[in-house]
C-alpha cells in the first residue's frame, strides 16, 4: 500500500495560513519559472530574463531546466493553466519598467496566497 505524501499546502493548512516563507520558497520560484518559460518561447535570452526578473542568470537556467521541487512545479502548473502570469509578461514585453513588473509579481503572489488559503 503506497502512502500518499502530503503536499506542502496540505501541511500548511493544518498549521494556519500561508506565510512569507511559503512565498519565498514556493510562490516566487513558481512565478519566475512560469515567466521564464513564456519569455524563452518568445525568444528572450537567459540574461535578459534574469535582468527583467531581478535574478541571476543561473537561476533562470535552473528554472528553464525544471530544477525545482514538485511543490513549485504544482504551483507553476496552476499559474500556467490559468494564464496567471500574462500581465507580468505583458509588462515586460511592453517595457513598462521594473516597478510595474514587481507590482504585477506581488499581485500574483497575493492572489495565489488568497487562493491557497481559501482551499
User: Domain limits of the chain?
Assistant: 18-118
**pTM for the model:** 0.82
Instruction: Tell which wins on pLDDT, 22 or 50.
Output: 50
Cα separations (Å) of 45 from 37, 39, 53, 73, 119? 11, 8, 12, 22, 37
Mean pLDDT for all residues in the chain: 86
- Given a cut of 80, whether residue 17 has pLDDT beyond it is no
For 41-66, letters b (16+ CB in 10 Å) and e give eeebebeebbbbbebeeebbebbeee
Amino acid at each position: 500500500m503506497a502512502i500518499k505524501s502530503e503536499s506542502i499546502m496540505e501541511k500548511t493548512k493544518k498549521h494556519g495560513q500561508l506565510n512569507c516563507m511559503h512565498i519565498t520558497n514556493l510562490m516566487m520560484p513558481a512565478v519566475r519559472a512560469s515567466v521564464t518559460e513564456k519569455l524563452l518561447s518568445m525568444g528572450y535570452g537567459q540574461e535578459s530574463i534574469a535582468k527583467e526578473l531581478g535574478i541571476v542568470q543561473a537561476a533562470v537556467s535552473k528554472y528553464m531546466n525544471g530544477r525545482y521541487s514538485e511543490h513549485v512545479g504544482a504551483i507553476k502548473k496552476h499559474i500556467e493553466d490559468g494564464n496567471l502570469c500574462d500581465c507580468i509578461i505583458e509588462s515586460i514585453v511592453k517595457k513598462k519598467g521594473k516597478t510595474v513588473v514587481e507590482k504585477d509579481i506581488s499581485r500574483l503572489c497575493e492572489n495565489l496566497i488568497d487562493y491557497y488559503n481559501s482551499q
